[in-house]
Homo-oligomer: A and B are copies of this chain.
Amino acid sequence: MSAIRLLVLGAVRMHGRAHGYQVRNDLEFWGAHEWSNAKPGSIYHALKQMAKQGLLKAHEVAPSTAGGPPRTEYEITEQGTEEYLSLLREALTSYDQKMDVLSAGIGFIVDLPRAEAVDLLKQRVEGLREWRASVTEYYTPQDGPEQLGHIGEIMNFWVHSADAGAEWTRGLIERIENGAYVFSGEGEPFVGVLPEGEENPYATGEPHPGDEN
């Protein structure tokens, strides 16, 4: 599972109705172009693909108001909402090392009820625990770990990552249980979108120090 569909569905849903460039801007506001494959080509492709599959409904729209080619606006369908929630749950539960998917999941976590969010994150911790155990077993065969030479360092790296991931997840669970953030059904939701017409301080073009490529 890549993060792009979750990100695009979530962004369209937040707006109610959005064209590609809007989605792209929201995701840049989140920094998603840096930690995921939310690049222009992928976004437009995902929009078209999901429209074809009935997860989004495409509206034909007049030649844009501010220069450039005509824009197509999209709206999420009922089927799309189902898919969205399903992807979101999977992103939060999955304990593999896909940082982009998890990041996207966190971005939309408040679309779930608080109790469910906590529950999914606990499942994530449990999954990490099991996964860690299986890796440990995998690289400590009866003949001793020397068998693997430096290859064992790869496994060591995974285990280390699993531990760090679990620790962070437990911290998040605690913050949520202590009342942080506004979740589904708890009143006015926080919307991580640029106010209409405002400038995006984090847009492409001015990479922060330390960026690659």
Asked whether B209 lies within 8 Å of A107 as measured between CB atoms, the reply is no
Judged by a CB distance under 8 angstroms, whether A130 is at the interface is yes
Within 8 A of B (CB), among A55-109: 94-97, 99, 102-103, 106-107, 109
Asked whether A154 lies within 8 Å of B110 as measured between CB atoms, the reply is no
**0/1 interface trace, chain A 185-211, chain B, CB 8 Å (1 if under):** 000001010000000011000001111
Judged by a CB distance under 8 angstroms, whether A44 is at the interface is no
Using A138-B202, A192-B149 as known contacts, say yes or no to A96 and B160 having CB atoms under 8 A apart.
no
Within 8 A of B (CB), among A18-76: 30-31, 35
Asked whether B168 lies within 8 Å of A157 as measured between CB atoms, the reply is yes
Asked whether A172 lies within 8 Å of B153 as measured between CB atoms, the reply is yes
CA distance A134 to B31 in the complex (A): 12
**Overall SS of chain A's interface:** helix
Asked whether B210 lies within 8 Å of A150 as measured between CB atoms, the reply is no
Residues of B contacting A212 in the complex (Cβ-Cβ under 8 angstroms)? 94, 96
Asked whether A97 lies within 8 Å of B94 as measured between CB atoms, the reply is no
Asked whether A130 lies within 8 Å of B35 as measured between CB atoms, the reply is no
**0/1 interface trace, chain A 154-188, chain B, CB 8 Å (1 if under):** 11111011011101100010010000111000000
Give A129's nearest chain B residue, CB to CB: B210
Nearest chain B CB to A131 CB, angstrom units: 4
| Pairs across A and B, CB under 8 Å, 27 listed | A30-B151, A30-B154, A31-B154, A35-B154, A35-B158, A95-B210, A96-B212, A102-B157, A106-B153, A109-B150, A130-B210, A134-B209, A135-B208, A137-B208, A138-B208, A141-B201, A149-B182, A149-B190, A150-B181, A150-B190, A150-B192, A151-B192, A157-B168, A160-B164, A161-B164, A161-B165, A164-B164
Question: What 9 A-B pairs have minimum CB-CB distances, sorted nearest first?
Answer: A164-B164, A149-B190, A131-B210, A134-B208, A130-B210, A134-B210, A150-B181, A160-B168, A151-B192
